[in-house]
Structure 1
């Protein structure tokens, strides 16, 4: 027969060891881990991503800063409550304090940035642009930033959606569009949306939350497709957008579009194409263009790439245009929206991240200055803490700010009567 006292003592020892280990993890491990994770993620608010694989951290960290602020505050509280001697507590304390400070940066800059943008909107478009109402009796966002939306998300009411509607067949490629409409049937002002993706990838379903949100505001949103580089090079992409606009013109009633009230909007490569299409020939008048961080001066962008350069900008431009500026300079000139500026262009809203390491904001600013010099209406929105594609986080800090002014700009520009 086994010795029961030995088994009993060994069981007690194991339980005691587990209890001590659990106590250690609770006392040291949780605060330690939370402080390190919070600090690591918060670092990307100020540290640019050196590679494409790390770019999501640089894009996302500022946008989820309210979450990071909460994480760092909890970590700091746990460290202070369990403060003991030992190097791990010192490290945890430093990390949680630094993480808390870093995660507060976007929110600390928010009031000044918002004030500058509001002043810019009023100066360029008039005070009425800040109080414009959407086409249907829906309400605009009440404030540029809503804390609760950062955690629960921005509410998007139901709308009608039709996907993959073909509008052209070009060189064996079927081009399609997605259609987002209000529940109310009838003709609506329209926003033709063009996705980004370095002219090489993407679909009309990109950024669908925005398309649904704007449809709920009373717009018909048409998300357009185009052929991709490097298989198809410029001007194929612009030609596809122009073909889509002809389709919209011809099918306006079936699509429930008021062809007299159409705006173009694009992000990144899509912002570039939207600007070229709006500033060039169109089958119908374009009432406004919204350019989110789109390339504007391709030769300058090639010669002065960002540092760091996570997408290899020169390789992207060479794939799009078929060579360097020395090889195909005319194409670089033709593909640069800044060279298409002339008087009497549609009003432009230019939205750029101050920390964009894919499309530097200084090039957007050059376009803005040239538009103003030619007598055009343009609004400059620079979000100091934001990276490229910041609006991928729809309820993020930057997108809340951009959305607040974008929907007011569009409501102003697409009024039934011309506001300008």
Structure 2
């Protein structure tokens, strides 16, 4: 009976790769399933071996365990499938052929077995009045190199510069400087304060470019979730010739539409989160919601954009990204939207997981093109 119960539990957990999580803590479990599929397939395989000696309930236990095993492998198989067409899709979207030379595969089964990279960084204060800092990952080369400004997520009210540091270190090894910012948080501080913090940091990096080994003509903004909204708005609403592109990981791009279609309250009270960031309900300040919506600032001069979103995202609807994709297409802005069918919010938690590998590949390709 115990092994049957375990089979059923694993089966229920495996459903998170095809169905959205119904509750916040279950969503966190979904992130683990997305990020470490081999752990769950391994557990299920061991259980299957133990079922050979089971006398009662063997058939239902084996059936549920086999289905769970297959579903846990789905992100791996799907990532492999997506990876096959990704190089050509990227080249077509950004009209680039020189990016083909990159010596990095979109997906590797062996990479799934590796642990997260750890790279040194230095914490620097860029706003002494507010005691705001950023974590700086210096590139591995001697000459001046581009700088990626990373804006963390956390519903605009939480998170910090140490969030998902694996990509920061990896990019520094690949020759890019990375500045992961801490910014003023809601509800004490509201939009556009965090956007102004990003601009303030860029000015600081420019002023200290010699010491930091930065090429001041090549900045790229990268944001996750709420941080993606900040990064997009900083790039779109405040054009800067030195910002060459923006990378959007599952960010809310249309705050007006987003307020009208709230998330599952058991996952997140999205309207309350937006009110804390913007100031009040949409009905009371529609202009501020419009001013916080990156989609409304897109024009033919908008910088190239990379968008990566999971179709199984229960915190930020993937429709935010499809809306942004549509507006960028209408304005003929070089961009690429990559939707991962199995992926939930935070799918890149493990840099070597299925989503982490694909998004890292895309980030490197994008940086290579826009920073050339």
> Scaled by the length of structure 1, what TM-score is found?
0.83
Corresponding residue number in structure 2 for 1:166: 125
| CA distance in 2 between partners of 1:90 and 1:318 (Å) | 52
Going from structure 1 to structure 2, the CA distance change for 1:409 and 1:193 (only over 3 Å counts) comes to same
Corresponding residue number in structure 1 for 2:225: 268
| CA distance in 1 between partners of 2:85 and 2:367 (Å) | 19
Corresponding residue number in structure 2 for 1:102: 71
RMSD (CA atoms): 2.1
Query: After alignment, is 242-251 or 182-191 more displaced?
Result: 182-191
1:44 corresponds to 2:16 = yes
Deviation at 1:161, TM superposition (A): 1.7
Match of 1:122 among 91, 104, 107: 91
Q: How many residues align?
A: 372
Match of 1:396 among 339, 353, 361: 353
Secondary structure, aligned partner of 1:229: coil
User: Structure 2: which 5+ residue stretches go unaligned?
Assistant: none
Corresponding residue number in structure 1 for 2:186: 229
1:153 corresponds to 2:107 = no
| CA distance in 2 between partners of 1:53 and 1:185 (Å) | 45
Corresponding residue number in structure 1 for 2:7: 35
| CA distance in 2 between partners of 1:254 and 1:114 (Å) | 39
1:82 corresponds to 2:53 = yes
Going from structure 1 to structure 2, the CA distance change for 1:129 and 1:41 (only over 3 Å counts) comes to farther
Deviation at 1:189, TM superposition (A): 1.2
Q: Output aligned runs, 1:281-360, within 5 Å.
A: 281-282=238-239, 284-307=241-264, 310-360=267-317
> Scaled by the length of structure 2, what TM-score is found?
0.93
Deviation at 1:246, TM superposition (A): 1.2
1:407 corresponds to 2:353 = no
Q: Is the 8 Å Cα contact of residues 221 and 245 (structure 2) preserved in structure 1?
A: yes
User: Structure 1: which 5+ residue stretches go unaligned?
Assistant: 1-27, 134-139, 416-420
Deviation at 1:319, TM superposition (A): 0.8
Match of 1:215 among 166, 172, 176: 172
Deviation at 1:112, TM superposition (A): 3.8
| CA distance in 2 between partners of 1:230 and 1:145 (Å) | 40
Deviation at 1:49, TM superposition (A): 2.1
Match of 1:367 among 314, 317, 324: 324
Q: Is the 8 Å Cα contact of residues 134 and 180 (structure 2) preserved in structure 1?
A: yes
Q: Is the 8 Å Cα contact of residues 140 and 174 (structure 2) preserved in structure 1?
A: no
Deviation at 1:111, TM superposition (A): 4.0
Moved over 6 A (4+): none
| CA distance in 2 between partners of 1:129 and 1:278 (Å) | 25
Deviation at 1:224, TM superposition (A): 1.1
Deviation at 1:132, TM superposition (A): 4.3
Q: Is the 8 Å Cα contact of residues 50 and 308 (structure 1) preserved in structure 2?
A: no
1:176 corresponds to 2:133 = yes
Query: After alignment, is 274-283 or 346-355 more displaced?
Result: 274-283
Q: Is the 8 Å Cα contact of residues 193 and 264 (structure 1) preserved in structure 2?
A: yes
| CA distance in 2 between partners of 1:109 and 1:207 (Å) | 23
Deviation at 1:218, TM superposition (A): 0.4
| CA distance in 2 between partners of 1:146 and 1:49 (Å) | 27
Deviation at 1:238, TM superposition (A): 1.0
Corresponding residue number in structure 1 for 2:45: 73
| CA distance in 1 between partners of 2:286 and 2:370 (Å) | 35
Rg: which structure is higher? 1
Q: Is the 8 Å Cα contact of residues 99 and 368 (structure 2) preserved in structure 1?
A: no
| CA distance in 2 between partners of 1:47 and 1:308 (Å) | 17
